Chain A
Amino acid sequence: MLQCIFLLSDSGEVMLEKQMTAHRVDRSICAWFWDYVLSQGGDSSKILQVIASPTHYIFQVYREGITFLACTQVEMPPLMAIEFLSRVADVLTDYLGSLNEDLIKDNFVIVYEILDEMMDNGFPLTTEPNILREMIAPPDIVSKMLNVVTGKSSNVSNKLPEATASCVPWRKTGLKNASNEVYVNLVEELDALVNREGMLVKCEVYGEIQVNSHLPGLPDLTLSFANPTILNDVRFHPCVRFRPWESHQVLSFVPPDGQFKLMSYRVKNLKNIPVYLKPQLSSDSGNCRIDVLVGIRNDPGKTIDSVTVKFQLPLCIASADLTSNYGTVNILADKTCSWSIGRIPKDKSPSLTGNLVLDGMDRLHVFPTFQVKFKITGVAFSGLQIDKLDVKNTPSSPYKGFRAITQAGQYEVRS
C-alpha cells in the first residue's frame, strides 16, 4: 500500500505532500530521489519507474514536468501503484485543464481534496473522474461566477454522488444534458521498424476508440464494426459488456458522461507503411556523405501532414553541413538533427543531403536511427471501419459524429 504521495516540480521542489498512513514518510526521500535523478542524467522521464531507495520503494510517473512520486515499504503490485499515479495525473489534468507547476501550486487545495477522495489509507478508492466531479467541483470560472452570484462560496456540491450507490458506477444518475450528441474518434498510432537493408521488420497499429458522449438519461449504445476480425487484442472500458463482444463482436455499453476511452486494440503484422524514408550514408577518408529521401509509399488517400524526421548524429562527427530541398533542417546542441517537412508535396520527393566531417577516423562505424513523425487525418490506417452506432433509450435521436486519425508512433528507420 502506498504510504505517501509527493508532487515534485521540474527542479525537484516538493509542491505537495499527502501522507496516507500512520507512518509518515520524511521529505528527505524526495531529496534522495532528486539526487538519484541527477545522477542518472537529470531527465526524470528517462529513469526507472520503480526505484529502491535506502528506506522505501519509490514509484514515479512523470507528466508535463511534474513528477508524481509514491513511496511504500511493503510488497505490493507495482502496476497498481503506477496505474494509480497515472490516474492521479489524468484526473488532475482533467480538473485543471492541463498540467503544470503553476496550476498545481494555485490549486493545491483542490489537489489535496482530490487525493483525499482517490485514496484512503494507501488504498485507491474513487478514481472515476465523473464521480469525483460530483464530490469536488472543478475550479472553473463558471463555478466561481456562480458562487459570486448565489453567494454560495463552497466549491463542492453538498449532495453526495448517487453514482457511488448506483449500478452504473461510472455514470451519474439523472443526467440532463442540453446537448444531445455523441462523438466517436478512432485514434491510431503506427509503430514501424525498417532495418538497415530497407526491410520492413515490424509494423503494428495501436488504436483507441475515444468517445465523447453528452447524452441524457441512461442511454444504451451499440457500436459495430465492418471488419472486427482484424483486431488482435482488445481492452475495454469497464462500461463495455463482455458477452455481446464475445458472441457478435459488437460493443454494447452505457457510456459515462464526457470524454473516455471506450476500447483500445492492437492490429499486428501490417504489410504496408504510408511513408518511406531512404537513408544513404557513405563514408571515406574522414568524410561522410549523407542522403535522405522521404516520400509516400502507399497513398492512404488523405494528405499526410506534419511530417518530421529526427535523428541523432554519432558522437564521432565533428561537424555537419546539411541542406534540404524541402522543409527546414535544424541541428540542436546535443547533435540531434530535426528536419521538419510538413506536408509532403505531390510533385517532388523531399530530400536532405549533406556532408559530415568525422573526428579522427576514416569511416563511419556507428549509424543513426531516423525517427519519423506524421499525421494522417480521416484515415484509420489499420483499416478498421465503424459500421454503425445505435443509440437506444434516449428521448430524441442524438447527433452522432465520427472521426479518424492516424499518427506515427515509434516509426523508425535504421541506416
Chain B
Amino acid sequence: MAPPIPAPKTPSPSQPSGKSEVTDLKLQLRQLAGSRAPGADDSKRDLFKRVISYMTVGIDVSSAFSEMVMCSATSDIVLKKMCYLYVGNYARCNPDLALLTINFLQKDCRDEDPMIRGLALRSLCSLRVPNLVEYLVAPLGAGLKDGSPYVRMVAALGVLKLYHISAAMCLDSDFPATLKSLMLSDPDAQVVANCLHSLQEIWNLEASKSEEASREIEALYSKPVVFFLLNKIKDFSEWAQCLVLDVVSKYIPGDNNEIFDIMNFLEDRLQHANGAVVLATIKVFLHLTMSMTDVHQQVYERIKAPLLTLVGAGSPEQSYAVLCHLHLLVMRAPMLFSSDYKHFYCQFSEPSFVKKLKLEMLTAIANESNTYEIVTELCEYARNIDIPIARESIRAVGKIALQQYDVNAIVDRLLQFLEMEKDYVTAETLVLVKDLLRKYPQWSHDCIAVVGNISSKNVQEPKAKAALIWMLGEYSQDMLDAPYILESLIENWDDEHAPEVRLHLLTAAMKCFFKRPPETQKALGAALAAGLADTHQAWDVHDRALFYYRLVQYDVTVAEHVVNPPKQAVSVFADTQSSEIKDRIFDEFNTLSVVYQKPSYMFTDKEHRGPFEFSEDLASLSVGAQSAENVISAQRYQENDNDLLLSTSEKEENGSSAHYGSVPSAYSAPQALTEAALIDHGSSAFTSQSAFAIDDLLGLGVPDAPAPAPAPPTLNLNTKSALDPGTFQRKWGQLGITLSQELSLSPQGVVGLTTPQSLIRHMQGHSIQCIASGGQSPNYKFFFFAQKEGSSVFFLVECIINTSSAKVHLKIKAEDGSAAEPFSALFQSALLKFGLP
C-alpha cells in the first residue's frame, strides 16, 4: 500500500532571510525598470536570474510581481523568457496583477520575430487565469493563421489550453473547426500533430455533452483521416508518430486488405530508435490482427526480435518498461517464446523487480523442450546471494513441476534443495513439495523419505511449518516417527504463535490418530486440550479444536470420514490472474496498466480515467483510495501470488467466495466444513450463473424479468450469430432507424458499468453481440447486433449510455421491421437485468 500523503511542507527556515532578500530585489528592480542605460539589460538579467533561482528553490517571490512586469519591456529574449517563466508561475495566484502582463504579452504576440510571437503566445495561454480568457481569443486566432509554423504549432496547443480554462469560449470561437482544417492542410508536420493532439482531447471531452463531438471523434478515426496521417508519418517527429499510431490503433479497418496495407506501411516503424514508437506500432499490429488468429501469431513472431532488443539494449529504465510489455505477451502466448528462454535468464546485476518478471516468464514458457535447461538455470539462482530471488526461483521450479513437464527431474532437484540446509531454501521447498504431493501423490514415497529427515527445529516460517505438519499428518502411515514428531510439536504448542500452524497441528494430529491410534492418542488429547484453551489469539483454533473434540466423541469413524476422506489429486491449481483480467490488460497495451499488471479500472481513479480530466481539488485525489472491491481483488492476487495454495485462515480473512468454493474437494474436509458459510455464498452465486448459462443454451430471453422490465417477448435469438465489422457498417448505412427509444438504467447497472466490457459480456449472455464499443465514464457507446434464430434477419443497435444520469439512448435498426418491437423489448429487458444479481 502506498504510504500516506505527506503533510504539507512547513515554511522553510530560510524564508525569513529570503524575505529581506526579496524586498531588496524589488527595490533594485524598481530602480532598473525605466532605465535605458547601456548595461541595464545585463543587470536586469542578473536580478531576474536571482528571482528565478529563489522561485526554483521554493521561496515565494510573488510579491515582486509588479516590479517584474515593469521590467519586462525589453528586447532581450532571455530576459523575456525568464519573465514569461516567472509570470506563468505566479499569475494564477495573482489574477489581478496578471492583468498587467496581458498588455506586454499581447504586444509580443505581434512582434516581428516569430520566436517571440510563439513564446509570448505560449506564455499567454499558460497564464490560465479564468477572467483573462477574453484576451486570449484574438492572439490565438491570429496565431493559427501566422506565417511561421512555430507560432501555429504553439497556437494549436494554445487552443487546448484555452479549452481547459473555458470550454465555452473555445467552442464559441469555433477553434476546433479551424484546427481541423489546419490539421488537414498545414504543410508543417508538427503543426498537424499539435492540432491532432488538441482535437483529440477536446472532442473526447466534449463527446459526453454533444452529439456533434462524438461524430467528430468518429471522423477523426475514420479512413480518410487515418490514411492521411499514415501517409505523412515519416514527416512527423518521433513523439508525434506515437500520437498518430495511437489514432491508428483506434481505427477499425474495413477489410483485411486495409489491415495488411497498414501493417506493410508501418513495418519499418518497428525498427525505430525510439522505443515508444516501437511499442506504439506493436500495439497497432496486435489490435489490427486480433480477429485473424494466424496473422496474429505471425505478428508475435515479427515483434519478438524488436522487443527483445529493446529489453537488452536500452537503458535500464526503458528495459523495465519494455519487459513489462514482453511479460504480458509471454503470458498470453508462452509457446511462441519457448525457444527464446535464454533471454529471460537473470543477470546478477539486474534489480530484483526485473529478475522477478523474468522468473515469471521463465515459468510460463517452460515446456517439454526447454524445461531441463530452465530448471537447471533456476536451480543456480537458488544458490545465489540474492535471497529473495533465491526464494522466487525455488517457487518457480515448483510451479514448473506443477505444469507437468519432466516432473521426475524436478522432484530430484527439489529434494536436493532440502539437502542444502539453508533455512529459507528448506522453507520454500517444503511448501512446494506439499503442493507437488497434492498433485502427484505417486511421488510421496521419494519425498517422504527426504522430508522425514528434516528436523522440525530447522523450520521456522509458519507456512513451511504448516506444510511440514500437513505432510506429517497426511503420510503418517509411511513416516515412522510421525506421531512422535507431532507429539513434540504439540508439547511446544505455546511457542507456536501462528494460528495457521496450530490449525494444521490439530488436523495432522487427527489424521495421525486415525491411522496409528495407540501412538497418537496422547498427543491428540494434548493438542485438543491446548486448542480448546486457545482463546486469546484466534477463535478459529479454539473452534476447530472443539469441533474435532465433539466429532471424535460422537463417532470416530464419522470423524475420520469428515477429517480425512479419500482425496483426489488436484489437477489444476487456481490461476493467479483470471484470463479476463489478462485480456483487459492486453487491450490496454502500451499504457501504465501493463507496468502495474492491472487493468486501469483497478488502479486509476475514476475521475482520471478520461484522457485528460482532472478534478479541481488536487488534495482530495488519491491513487491509493481504490474502492473496497478493488482492494479485495488486489489482495487476492497478491495472496495467490504468494502461495498457490491458501491456508484456511487466510481465506477466511479475505472472504473470497466462489473462487475457492469451486474446488472444495481439493482441501481436506475440516477446512471445507469450516468454510461452509463461504461455500454457501459461493454456490448461490453459482446457481445464478448457471441459470444464465441455461438461458444462453436455450436461446431464451429472460424467463423472470424483474418488476420494472417489460414482459418477456416471444422472440428467439441465434446464440452464435456472427457479423463482421464491414458488413455491420454496410447494413447500418443501408437501414433506416426502426425504433428509437430512451430508458433508464437500473442503479445496479450503473454501478456495474465500470467498463464497457462488463456490459458486453452481460449482453452476450443474452445472445446479443457487441461489435464495437467506446467512450469513457460517464459516457459509453456500444454497437450491438443480434440475429433471429433460424433466419438471416439481423438487428443492429446503437446504445449510448450515460452513467451519471443513468439514461440509455437506443437506436434499433431491424432487417425485418415486424420483429423490431419484440426485439426491442427483449433487448431492453436484457439491458435492465444488467447489474442485478
Contact = CB atoms under 8 A, between A and B. Distances in A.
Interface residues of A, number: 104
Contact of A108 (B53, B81, B610): B53
A120 B77 CA distance: 19
A120 B194 CA distance: 10
Interface in A21-44: 21-28, 31-32, 35-36, 39
A82 interface: yes
B188 A164 contact: yes
B591 A112 contact: no
Given A61-B315, A73-B621, A35 B2 contact: no
A240 to B, nearest CB: 8
Contact of A55 (B5, B316, B380): B5
Contacts of A144: none
B56 A15 contact: yes
B161 to A, nearest CB: 6
A158 B77 contact: yes
Contacts of A52: 2, 596, 603, 623-624
B637 interface: no
A195 B590 CA distance: 35
Q: Interface size class for chain B?
A: 35 or more
B4 A54 contact: yes
B836 interface: no
A236 to B, nearest CB: 5
Given A54-B622, A155-B78, A367 B271 contact: no
A206 B313 contact: yes
B317 A55 contact: no
A78 B77 CA distance: 35
Contacts of B272: 235-236, 238
Contacts of B608: 73-75
Contacts of A133: none
Interface in B55-101: 56-58, 76-78, 81-82, 85, 88-89, 92
Given A83-B318, A266-B309, A55 B618 contact: yes
Interface stretch (B27-35, B273-281, B449-457): B273-281
Interface in B597-619: 600, 603-605, 608-614, 618
Given A121-B157, A193-B345, A233-B305, A312 B385 contact: yes
Interface stretch (B147-155, B516-524, B658-666, B788-796): B147-155
A346 interface: no
Contact of A116 (B81, B160, B279): B81
Contact of A77 (B128, B280, B316, B376): B280
Contacts of A112: 52, 81-82, 85
Interface string B162-177: 0011000000000000
B242 A80 contact: yes
Given A75-B591, A232-B305, A369 B56 contact: no
Nearest to A13: B57
A330 interface: no
Contacts of B322: 79
Q: Counting chain B CB atoms within 10 Å of each CB, which of A52, A83, A84, A123 scores highest?
A: A83
Interface string A211-233: 00000000000000000000011
Given A53-B2, A73-B608, A366 B58 contact: no
Q: Counting chain A CB atoms within 10 Å of each CB, which of B161, B280, B592, B614 scores highest?
A: B592
Given A73-B608, A74-B608, A125-B237, A195 B5 contact: no
B6 A127 contact: no
A195 to B, nearest CB: 6
Contacts of B376: 195
B377 interface: yes
B287 interface: no
B49 interface: yes
B759 to A, nearest CB: 21
B76 A26 contact: no
Interface of A: 1, 14-17, 19, 21-28, 31-32, 35-36, 39, 45-50, 52-57, 60-62, 73-80, 82-86, 108-109, 112-113, 116, 120-121, 123-128, 135, 153-156, 158, 160, 164-165, 167, 169, 191, 193, 195-196, 201-202, 204, 206, 232-238, 242, 246, 261, 264-266, 312, 314-315, 365-369, 371, 410, 412, 414
Interface of B: 2-6, 8-9, 41-42, 45, 49, 52-53, 56-58, 76-78, 81-82, 85, 88-89, 92, 113-115, 119, 122, 128, 148-150, 153-154, 157, 160-161, 164-165, 187-190, 194, 197, 235, 237-239, 242-243, 246, 268, 271-276, 278-280, 305-306, 308-309, 312-313, 315-318, 320-322, 324, 342, 345, 347-349, 351, 353, 376-377, 380, 383-385, 390, 420-422, 425, 588, 590-596, 600, 603-605, 608-614, 618, 621-624
List of 6 A-B pairs having minimum Cβ-Cβ separation, nearest first = A124-B239, A242-B268, A369-B348, A233-B305, A80-B276, A233-B309
7 contacts: A23-B614, A25-B618, A28-B8, A124-B239, A195-B377, A264-B273, A369-B348
Given A204-B312, A233-B308, A264-B309, 4 more contacts: A77-B242, A124-B237, A125-B153, A238-B273
